[in-house]
């Protein structure tokens, strides 16, 4: 979970670290908007021990939010609400959508907003050009193409003392230069919604929803079996109760649907999850956590499973700018009456400066393997480096490695897949409503001999575009 404060409208005080540099718990920091709403994106991916070719994604977007001539300040409510009441400890942030859930046209939803009123509506239109050197995500049928896209988008930002809402929807109509049969409207769609309601100073409700539709399976499912029509939707309601000044109890439920309606080898899945966490602050530097999570996986062409995961962990602030977090426990999985125990681990180390944030993270958990389906033991190692060196310029670097293997060697549809991606992105604000966004993206994916489905993918993608929009503010 990323710190929800990153999504709250507000300004940064002089001398404070940039909001992205304050992201805690070791999560890869989300895109951060600079000087009036221009967003920088840390592109995520996955890593494997075998690297072959590199991949590139370059994107140029003109964001809709206006540029403010004033210094931005820290997001309002990071420690206290507008009424002066203490919020839940920032060390246990409220759930927010992951960075990968935000289409490029909706990156303006991230970071503090330069609003003149409590409600801001931003319609926009983007024109882009994309190049891919592996259209079908198959090294045995490697074809390149140029894709012209037209992307209308609409975002809504509401900032009230007792509730905040940020939501956006975009779709892209595409024209393929070579494979014209793929041209059409609504080829890509994305929706991101995030809301927070403070019923009382101690009780907070949250709800978030993300929807992605694409023909690049790594966009919707992270691990892809090749080019195929697919969509995913995740809905997460939650509640956080600050019982005392030192203790916090949070409960979240999550439902994720992954579908592959077109022809292809991707497998549908439904994930149901319920998680409760209790955090207690023993000292200003040390907080202990205890939790429990229940997961049910409903899988296509594979045995369904249930997993019980009790956890015990801590968050320790080594220095004012260096934070370590560790949580672990047994993941007890039942598949057709057989019980399997695998380790659950979530570890991170975050270094924060005023203009730089660096994070390394390792996670191990039971989940599905995207389009490969199955109940898998998944390990992910990732890093994030975000640099804010000059006014209007942001650079982010995000490598990641993911390995997924079936929990049981007797379950139907064996999975053994490794993937690596590398992201390098840069944002330069050039005018009041104009921003230049550039990035590098690398995708490399391989499967083992035991995997029921095979994948051999190396893909380069380059995209440049301009987005025009204008904010309407309401009282």
Burial class (CB in 10 A: 0-12, 13-18, 19+), 83: exposed
The least confident of 87-91, 193-197, 267-271, 401-405 is: 87-91
Report the chain's terminal Cα–Cα distance, integer Å: 31
Residue 92: pLDDT band with limits 50, 70, 90: low
pLDDT average, residue stretch 301-318: 94
Q: Which residue has the higher pLDDT, 159 or 19?
A: 159
Distance in angstroms (rounded) separating the CA atoms of residues 73 and 14 = 7
Reported as a single tens digit per residue, the pLDDT across 320-353 is 999 999 999 999 999 999 999 999 999 999 998 8
Looking at the predicted structure, is the pLDDT value of residue 180 above 60?
yes
DSSP result, 186-225: EEEEEEEEEEEEESSSSEEEEEEEEEEEESSHHHHHSS-S
Give the domain ranges of the chain. Answer: 4-474
Task: Mark 307-316 as b/e (b = at least 16 C-beta within 10 Å).
Answer: bebebebebe
Averaged pLDDT, 409-427? 83
Sign, Cα dihedral of 20, 25, 26, 30: negative
Class of the CATH-defined domain 4-474? mainly beta
Is 418 in contact with 24 (CB distance < 8 Å)?
A: no
Residue 410 has pLDDT above 90, yes or no: no
Between 191 and 468, name the one with better pLDDT: 191
Taking residues 29-38, report their average pLDDT: 34
Would you tell me how many other CB atoms lie within 10 Å of the CB of residue 246? 13
Window from 41-50, 290-299, 445-454 with minimum mean pLDDT:
41-50
Of the pLDDT bands very low, low, confident and very high (cuts 50, 70, 90), residue 198 is very high
Exposed/middle/buried for 15, CB within 10 Å: 0-12, 13-18, 19+?
Answer: exposed
CA distance 231 to 73: 37
Compute the distance between CA of residue 419 and CA of residue 445 in angstroms, rounded to an integer. Answer: 4
Range among 86-95, 128-137, 175-184, 436-445 rated most confident: 175-184
**Residue 96's pLDDT is what?**
67
Integer Cα distance of 380 and 27 in angstroms: 12
Q: Which residue has the higher pLDDT, 175 or 31?
A: 175
Residue 272: other Cβ atoms inside 10 A: 14
- Give how far Cα 347 sits from Cα of 26, 68, 118, 473, Å: 7, 37, 38, 42
Query: What pLDDT shows up at residue 390?
Result: 63
Please report the pLDDT score of residue 187 as a whole number: 92
Encode pLDDT of 230-284 as tens digits: 899 999 999 999 999 999 999 999 999 999 887 778 889 999 999 999 999 999 9
Judge contact between 96 and 4, C-beta under 8 A.
yes
Looking at residue 302, what is its pLDDT?
Answer: 87
Q: Other C-beta atoms within 10 Å of 16: how many? A: 16
- φ, ψ (nearest 5 deg) of residue 140: -80, -10
For residue 142, with 0-12 CB atoms within 10 Å meaning exposed, 13-18 middle and 19 or more buried, which class applies?
middle
């Amino acid at each position: 979970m990323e710190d929800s404060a990153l999504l709250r409208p507000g300004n940064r005080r002089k001398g404070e670290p940039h909001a992205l540099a304050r992201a805690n718990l070791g999560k890869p920091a989300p895109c951060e908007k600079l000087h009036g709403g221009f967003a920088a994106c840390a592109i995520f991916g996955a890593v494997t021990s075998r690297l072959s070719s590199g991949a590139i994604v370059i994107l140029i977007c003109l964001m809709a939010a206006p540029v403010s001539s004033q210094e931005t300040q820290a997001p309002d409510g990071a420690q206290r609400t507008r009424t002066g009441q203490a919020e839940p400890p920032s060390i246990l942030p409220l759930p927010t959508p992951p960075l990968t859930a935000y289409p490029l046209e909706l990156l303006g939803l991230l970071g503090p907003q330069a609003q003149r009123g409590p409600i801001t509506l931003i319609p926009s239109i983007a024109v882009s050009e994309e190049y891919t050197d592996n259209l079908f995500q198959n090294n045995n049928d490697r074809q390149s193409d140029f894709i012209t896209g037209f992307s209308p988008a609409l975002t809504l930002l509401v900032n009230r003392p007792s509730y905040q809402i940020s939501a956006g929807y975009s779709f892209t109509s595409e024209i393929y230069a070579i494979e014209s049969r793929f041209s059409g409207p609504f080829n890509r769609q994305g929706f991101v919604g995030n809301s927070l309601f403070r019923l009382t100073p101690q009780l907070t409700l949250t709800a978030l929803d993300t929807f992605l539709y694409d023909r690049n399976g790594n966009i919707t499912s992270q691990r892809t079996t090749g080019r195929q029509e697919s969509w995913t939707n995740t809905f997460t309601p939650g509640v956080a109760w600050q019982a005392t000044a030192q203790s916090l109890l949070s409960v979240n439920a999550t439902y994720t649907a992954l579908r592959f309606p077109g022809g292809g080898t991707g497998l549908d899945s439904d994930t149901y999850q319920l998680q409760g966490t209790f955090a207690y602050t023993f000292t200003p530097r040390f907080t202990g956590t205890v939790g429990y999570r229940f997961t049910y996986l409903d899988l296509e062409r594979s045995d369904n499973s249930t997993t019980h995961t009790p956890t015990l962990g801590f968050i320790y602030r080594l220095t004012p700018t260096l934070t370590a977090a560790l949580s672990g426990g047994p993941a007890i999985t039942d598949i057709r009456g057989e019980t399997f125990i695998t380790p659950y681990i979530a570890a991170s180390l975050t270094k924060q400066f005023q203009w730089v944030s660096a994070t390394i993270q390792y996670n191990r958990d039971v989940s599905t393997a995207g389009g490969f389906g199955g109940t898998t033991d998944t390990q992910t190692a990732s890093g994030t480096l975000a640099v804010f060196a000059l006014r209007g310029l942001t650079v982010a670097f995000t490598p990641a490695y993911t390995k997924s293997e079936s929990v049981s060697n007797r379950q139907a549809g064996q999975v053994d897949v490794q993937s690596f991606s590398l992201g390098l992105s840069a944002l330069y604000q050039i005018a009041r409503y104009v921003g230049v966004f550039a990035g590098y993206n690398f995708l490399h994916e391989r499967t083992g001999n035991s995997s029921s489905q095979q994948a051999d993918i190396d893909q380069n993608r380059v995209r440049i575009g301009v987005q025009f929009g204008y904010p309407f503010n309401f009282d």
